[in-house]
Amino acid sequence: MNVGIVGLGYVGLPLAVSFCEAGHNVVGVDVDPRKVDALKRAKSYIEDVPSETLEAISERLCASLRFADLTRCDAVIIAVPTPLTRNREPDLGPLLAASAAIAAVLQRGQLVVLESTTYPGTTRERLVPLLEESGLAAGSDFNLAFSPERVDPGRTDYSMRNTPKVVGGLTEACLARAAALYGEICEEIVPVSTPEVAELTKLLENIFRSVNIALVNELAMLCDRMNIDIWEVVDAASTKPYGFMRFEPGPGMGGHCLPVDPFYLAWRAREFGSPTDFIELAGEVNQAMPRFCAEKVTRALNETSKPVRGSRIAILGVSYKSGVGDLRESPALKIMDILSEQGGELCYHDAYVPALADFDLRSEPLADALDDCDVAVIVTAHPGLDLDLVTDRAPIIVDFRGVTAGKYSREVVRL
């Protein structure tokens, strides 16, 4: 097959690689000329896709800025960002722009699949009218489906092939066509009755995590007042062999899904007169965590009669999760903003993030970051973080990931 992919980021590029490795040709379209240029040189900008992999598929992957190149494709997959506006409402700008561009080159008999996370009804109510401006009818002249991405950056135990793929088509024929497409790269296809079911499935997956993380984060804030170790509580509760699932507190949620998806559903629910108070409250609790964590750092300094202003604060780990360099919605950046506004002198160590342009900082070797620091703050505990060195050099340690729990005799301020 010839497969077109619009959007060559964390979702689209691994998808392109999977189809190429399965023996198909891929036309990858992106509006960012830097990405297109990098792919033409077989240079990867995604951690999960090594440049060596791009070199191996270079004859099958054609990167382009031109939507017109999609005319020769059998299927076109949309994998563009679906962020939030400043008012925490869905921003479908990139998706609608991509859909309009596809409509201008859409061919009879093509399959279009949306993978971008969005609210229920987007495929039917927003994509269909746009694509039908081509003069072709959805479901008869071209096929249309929704299949949510399930990319987890840095994960190695589950890949595109062994992660079940949910697919919902506009018609039975659309579903069959999309299922056949993904059957080329996925071991298990999970067909559902409509695009709306598939759209809400993705939101449920992430809202489930958001709500449970919010619960344990709220307990962490309560435990802070009650002088109870939340990590010991979670460890003890996790010994129950049934009826309990472990979730851990943290400095806040980051990435491309968890901080965004609850607000997509909450916004859509209001259109139906059914506010999702529980889901929205969970989002608010998680959004409050960076400020709570910054206050923990302030209190830790105060305990040694030091103000934030003028103190050297070493931030250990700035990406949103362990083992990757992804900064999207990273709580570390929000914590750094707050401490910087209070006059803190920041430095950081992160082997996965060489520089933070917004702070005019570069990652320092761990030993250098700890030298003369007044407090070391563990925000993201990457693999290989030398905790022995941290505990030996840092006069104060604030641990937001629980990695020091039960391991060191010295006093550590924990979440």
Task: Give 262-275 as a DSSP string.
Answer: HHHHHHHHHHTT--
Q: Is the pLDDT of residue 256 over 90?
A: no
pLDDT of residue 299: 96
Does residue 405 have a pLDDT over 90?
A: no
Does the pLDDT value for residue 259 go beyond 90?
Answer: no
* Per-residue DSSP letter, 379: S
pLDDT computed for residue 409 by the predictor: 60
Specify whether the CB–CB gap between 310 and 323 falls below 8 A: no
Q: From CA 263, how far away is CA 268, in angstroms rounded?
A: 8
Q: What is the pLDDT of residue 136?
A: 98
pLDDT at 406 over 80: no
Selecting among 257, 293, 347, 373, the annotated active-site residue is 257
Distance CA 372, CA 4 (A): 53
Residue entry with tokens 């703050």? 377
Q: Is pLDDT of 154 > 90?
A: no
pLDDT score for 141: 98
| Predicted pLDDT of residue 156 | 87
How long a stretch of residues is the chain? Answer: 415
pLDDT, tens only, 44-61 = 999 899 999 999 999 999
The CA-to-CA distance between both ends of the chain, in Å, stands at 51
Mean pLDDT of the chain: 95
Which 8-state DSSP code applies to residue 406? T
Taking residues 205-223, what's their average pLDDT?
96
User: Which of 289, 367, 294 is closest to 336 using CA atoms?
Assistant: 294
Cα–Cα dist 47/285, whole Å = 30
**pLDDT bracket for residue 408 (50, 70, 90):** low
Residue 344 contacts residue 331 (beta carbons within 8 Å): no
Beta-bridge partner residues of 296: none
Q: Do residues 130 and 114 lie in contact, with contact meaning Cβ atoms separated by under 8 Å?
A: no
Active site residue 257: yes
143 phi, psi to nearest 5 deg: -95, 150
Q: Could you tell me the pLDDT band of residue 364, with boundaries at 50, 70 and 90?
A: very high
DSSP string for residues in 274-318: ---HHHHHHHHHHHHHHHHHHHHHHHHHHTTT--STT-EEEEE--
313 CB-near residues (< 8 Å, 6+ apart): 297, 339, 344, 345, 346, 347, 373, 374, 375, 377
Residue 344, both tokens: 């803190």
